[in-house]
Amino acid sequence: MKIETVGIVGFGVMGAAIGLNAAASGYRVIYKELNDELVAAMYDRWVKGSLEKRVAKGKMTQKEMDEITALISGTSSYADLAPCDLVIEAAVEKMDLKIQVFKDLDAVCRPDAILVSNTSTFLIERLMASVSNPSRTAGLHYFFPANINRLVEVIRQKETSDETFEALMGFAEKNRKVPIAVKDFPGFAINPVFISSYMILDSFYGEQANVATLEHISQQALGVRFGIMWVQNGSGLGTCYHAAVSMNDYLADTDVGYPAVPDQLKSQFESGAPWNLEDGPVADDSELANTVRDRLLGNIFTIATHLVEKEVVSMSDLERGICTALAWPKGPFSMMNALGMDEAARLVALTVESGEYKMPKTFSGGVPVPWPL
């Protein structure tokens, strides 16, 4: 399958970044929005505006900007997406809306055109149920900010053909991304780890710890410059809350399990304010720090093990994906090996005893051997 023209349904911040990345890689891009006025406004803001800033800062020449914009057009009509070899849906995260988008695309696109969703939590198979040729459907999950974050999850549902999958892997590589292969699963590979991590951390907020303390503990535990509370603010607490609800709905009653949505996250989202990262001094309480750290790492180790056991993603791709998308210096399996498998087993057992997860098979017989990285 040769991809030359790419349609983007949804001209918001994510869709715009995906399309700009494609145009900068030489693809013709057609953005689709609800009406012509919105197309024009989004073009001025996300394409012209962002590229002009790069030119002004000397990060791009005017000639380079002109070459990119010459490849970009916009429309309010699905019919104008008929020439596309690939269409990426990047609409707001509402399942009914996305299902309707694919019904509309199926009516106008060529039978061999590849249709993909950039959803972060919904199952690809459910979104594509109305597409007449499901072998040409898949997920192509970019991570925010899509113009900077290099990871792309290429998600195969059970009907996705080898040809479609290989075309999407090649497309991601040509866009200078790091693609990893993922099976259709709630949240795919990276989000089940990240979403559950902030759910665990948020559950300590309030009487037990302030935001500044939780941010510091996550920085120390993961070896990162920007901790999990900071990343939540960047993602938006609305997105974080709804993703947490979705993941819990999908997995809590399965053979994997998943944490409950913390009341603290719900309340903070409903307040309309981000987490206050400067809400007081970092607590000098080693017992608290160890408790939070153990729960955070135990959660990461448990869900990561389940993902590999279920063959959602390979161990190497999950390691690569976590380090690329989340900028963690070590992936879950490298962290377990570094801590020692005795300690990893203790933390997994602690997590399972808390009632959040079922026990992964790897740890059900006691302490396993180190992961073969």
Instruction: Write out pLDDT tens, residues 180-225.
Output: 999 999 999 999 999 999 999 999 999 999 999 999 999 999 999 9
Provide the pLDDT for residue 23.
Answer: 97
Mean pLDDT of the chain: 97
Q: Are residues 151 and 22 in the same domain?
A: yes
Mean pLDDT within 281-298: 98
| CA–CA distance, 47 with 89 (Å, rounded to integer) | 18
pLDDT tens per residue across span 302-334? 999 999 999 999 999 999 999 999 999 999 999
Provide the pLDDT for residue 144.
Answer: 85
| CA–CA distance, 101 with 93 (Å, rounded to integer) | 12
Provide the edge-to-edge strand list for the sheet that holds 72-75: 72-75, 28-32, 5-9, 86-89, 114-117, 137-142, 151-156, 178-183
Let me know if residue 370 belongs to a domain: no
Let me know if residue 287 belongs to a domain: yes
Q: Are residues 179 and 194 in the same domain?
A: no
Q: Are residues 234 and 350 in the same domain?
A: yes
Run of H or E including 92:
none
With 0-12 / 13-18 / 19 or more C-beta atoms within 10 angstroms meaning exposed / middle / buried, residue 145 is: exposed
Q: Are residues 175 and 284 in the same domain?
A: no
Q: Are residues 176 and 223 in the same domain?
A: no
Q: Check which CATH number belongs to the domain holding 220 and give it.
A: 1.10.1040.50
- Out of 151, 183, 215, pick the residue that ends a domain: 183
Strand ranges, E, within the chain: 5-9, 28-32, 72-75, 86-89, 114-117, 137-142, 151-156, 178-183
Q: Check which CATH number belongs to the domain holding 161 and give it.
A: 3.40.50.720
| CA–CA distance, 199 with 356 (Å, rounded to integer) | 11
Let me know if residue 369 belongs to a domain: no
Let me know if residue 373 belongs to a domain: no
Let me know if residue 24 belongs to a domain: yes
The distance from CA 354 to its chain's CA centroid, rounded to whole angstroms, is 26
| Whether 141 is catalytic | yes
- How many domains are there within the chain? 2
* pLDDT tops 90 at residue 1: no
- What's at 92, amino acid-wise? V
Q: Are residues 146 and 291 in the same domain?
A: no
Structural domain including 160 reads 5-183
Q: Are residues 225 and 165 in the same domain?
A: no
Closest CA to 243 of 201, 297, 187, 190: 187
pLDDT tens per residue across span 233-264? 998 999 999 999 999 999 999 999 999 999 99
Mean pLDDT within 147-159: 96
pLDDT tens per residue across span 13-50? 999 999 999 999 999 999 999 999 999 999 999 999 99
Q: 209: which strand partners?
A: 205
Q: Are residues 171 and 233 in the same domain?
A: no
Q: Are residues 253 and 354 in the same domain?
A: yes
Let me know if residue 109 belongs to a domain: yes
Q: Write down the catalytic residue from 141, 216, 242, 306.
A: 141
Let me know if residue 125 belongs to a domain: yes
- Out of 138, 159, 183, pick the residue that ends a domain: 183
Provide the pLDDT for residue 29.
Answer: 98
Q: Are residues 156 and 216 in the same domain?
A: no
- Out of 143, 164, 183, pick the residue that ends a domain: 183
pTM above 0.85, yes or no: yes
pLDDT tens per residue across span 108-147? 999 999 999 999 889 999 999 999 999 999 999 999 889 8
Q: In Å, how far are 124, 128, 196 from 163, measured between CA atoms?
A: 17, 18, 33
Q: Are residues 94 and 71 in the same domain?
A: yes
Q: Are residues 214 and 148 in the same domain?
A: no
Provide the pLDDT for residue 147.
Answer: 86
Let me know if residue 73 belongs to a domain: yes
